[in-house]
Amino acid sequence: MVGIAVLGAGRIGKIHAANVAANPNARLIAVADPYASAAQSLAGALGADAMTDCEAAIDRNDVDAIVIGTPTNTHIQLMMRAVRQGKAVLCEKPIDLDLLKSQAAVEEIEGLNGRVMLAFNRRFETTFAAMREAIIAGEIGEVRQVIISSRDPGLAPEDYIQHSGGIFRDMTIHDLDIGRWLLGEEPVEITAMGSRLVDSPLMEKYDDYDTAMVHMKTASGKQCHINNCRQAVYGYDQRIEVFGSKGMLLQDNLRPTTMRRWTQEATDSREPLLNFFLERYQQAYKSELDAFVAALVQEKPLPVTPFDGLQALRLADACVESVSTGRAVKL
């Protein structure tokens, strides 16, 4: 039985805490959040201790592992405190917004043989995982192109935009990770474009973009194209196409049901898309946590590494550089 403390009682922390409590091989020991009411509400609902000091939660003797769902600027401090005590970590992306700080943390983790998993939850979504398995099995031959469309249903609040690190480090970073994962090779060149089409004044205020495109190429010539926008009026748009020498794989959007209607007014009408990432990736979050616990119990390698997090951040930084210079960036 793995004793786990969840750090952060916000929307991500709530998902992780519930999944820990539901895992038969884990025990939710504590929920820690500087806001006492948030910690008490979540911990009380799940039968765990409520704490306001995240470091004290890490230090508990009955805590074997932690899940970090706190603001990004706290990730390294909390992660390294746990690693130095020999405790395992599941940390939300990114490691940090600063690449050099992230690299130093990863080097220390590796030097200590730390057990850290980065929470790229989309790898654990059923269809994403099936696509990866199909590629490995050779069903579509050699991958030639990966096309990812990822659009949010609406612009996040201003406070979130202000502290997000920008679209490439906050939103695109998930797609950059999935892109390199499905390509099966590291990108060596990246080109990005950013536009302010949804809320130009807000984006200019924080030197950010709400609409973006990214092109990546590997040494062998494999390509990945990513479409991002912070607003899609029809819902949470998440589609992938993987084209290979022997075929193609497609992932479509998810809806509450698969029912389709034909009436006098319309034909082939369907329900709207799932409208929030916590709904769209509910299963992925659970599978991610289950994989983390299983790796600890079975003493197997963690399925997503700090290096994966570092590479995704490196690609995101290259996107920022490409937009700034108007040129492709060699990696």
The pLDDT score that the predictor gives to residue 202 is 98
3-state secondary structure at position 217: strand
In the block, residue with structure tokens 């499905």: 182
Query: Is residue 144 a contact partner of residue 223, using CB atoms and an 8 Å limit?
Result: yes
Query: Is residue 121 a contact partner of residue 288, using CB atoms and an 8 Å limit?
Result: yes
Per residue of the chain (331 residues), give pLDDT as tens.
999 999 999 999 999 999 999 999 999 999 999 999 999 999 999 999 999 999 999 999 999 999 999 999 999 999 999 999 999 999 999 999 999 999 999 999 999 999 999 999 999 999 999 999 999 999 999 999 999 999 999 999 999 999 999 999 999 999 999 999 999 999 999 999 999 999 999 999 999 999 999 999 999 999 999 999 999 998 899 999 999 999 999 999 888 888 999 999 889 998 888 877 777 889 999 999 999 999 999 999 999 999 999 999 999 999 999 999 999 999 9
Distance CA 154, CA 231 (A): 4
The pLDDT score that the predictor gives to residue 278 is 74
Query: Is residue 91 a contact partner of residue 76, using CB atoms and an 8 Å limit?
Result: no
Residue type at 52 in one-letter notation: T
| Domains, the chain | 2-119 (3.40.50.720), 123-280+311-330 (3.30.360.10)
The pLDDT score that the predictor gives to residue 237 is 94
Distance CA 230, CA 189 (A): 25
Counting Cβ atoms within 10 Å, is residue 225 exposed (0-12), middle (13-18) or buried (19+)? Answer: middle
Alpha helices in 187-276 (DSSP H): 200-205
Q: Look up the pTM and report it.
A: 0.93
Distance CA 52, CA 276 (A): 28
Helix (H) or strand (E) holding 59: helix 54-59
In the block, residue with structure tokens 């998902």: 15
The pLDDT score that the predictor gives to residue 281 is 87
The pLDDT score that the predictor gives to residue 272 is 86
Helix (H) or strand (E) holding 113: none
The pLDDT score that the predictor gives to residue 294 is 98
Residue 277, token pair as written in the block: 């990432």
Residue among 157, 29, 150, 8 at smallest CA distance from 72: 8
Counting Cβ atoms within 10 Å, is residue 86 exposed (0-12), middle (13-18) or buried (19+)? Answer: exposed
Sign (positive or negative) of CA dihedral 22, 298, 79, 119: negative
